[in-house]
Amino acid sequence: MRFAIAAAATLFGAAIAAPAPQASPAPAPNPKETVLLSKFKAFHQLVEGPVNEVSFVISTHKEVGVAAYVCSAVSQQAPLALKPTTFNCAGGVPEKDIYRFQVNEVDTAANTYNMTIYHQTAPAYGLWGEIKLDTTCRPEGVRSEYCEHQDNVEVELHTFGP
């Protein structure tokens, strides 16, 4: 009987002393969103001059279906402000779901537009992604130029920061 009690105590003690299996840590959240940019258009009052107008549509696929946001910036008198100025897109519930864009650089000789798309999902939090669009330009009027990108382009947005 003493042997049975001693054996049970030894086994119980060994079970307590053995390390419990450790649960692996939960993976770090890595929120991403893919949006579709379409109907990109830009206008220059002077051929290969500064950009005066940019417009496009952002389409998103959310739980409630497809949502579209119209993005545009217009400056009739002067060149359109580039980085760090951001422009809001129309659509969504403004305080919770804001899309913005920023024109980082325009290469009028190569007809390319470098932009950043932002999606603010909460105060001081959101996603962002960069895109470089090649466009086709044609004369519009005497000295102005109209540029567009015909195809839809996917843009991957990820969290702010590294």
pTM of the model: 0.75
Q: What is the pLDDT of residue 8?
A: 55
In a domain, 87, yes or no: yes
Q: Does some domain include residue 26?
A: no
17 domain residue, yes or no: no
Residue 3 lies in a domain: no
- pLDDT per position as a tens digit, 15-46: 555 555 566 665 556 688 999 999 999 998 87
Answer yes or no: is 22 within a domain.
no
Taking residues 92-109, report their average pLDDT. 83
Position 43 in a domain: yes
**pLDDT confidence of residue 9:** 56
pLDDT of residue 15: 53
pLDDT of residue 162: 47
101 in a domain, yes or no? yes
Per-residue pLDDT at 91: 83
Cβ proximity of 116 and 104 under 8 Å: yes
Both ends of the chain: CA-CA distance in Å? 65
**What CATH number does the domain containing 103 carry?**
2.40.350.20
pLDDT at 137: 92
What pLDDT does residue 72 have? Answer: 94
- Indicate the pLDDT class of residue 81, thresholds 50, 70 and 90: confident
Q: Shortest CA distance to 39 belongs to which of 14, 56, 62?
A: 56
- Residue range of the domain that includes 115: 31-159
User: In this structure, is residue 88 part of a structural domain?
Assistant: yes
Work out how many domains the chain is built from and give that number. 1
Handedness of CA 39, 122, 115, 158 (dihedral sign): negative
Read off the pLDDT of each residue in 124-129 and give the average, rounded to a whole number. 90
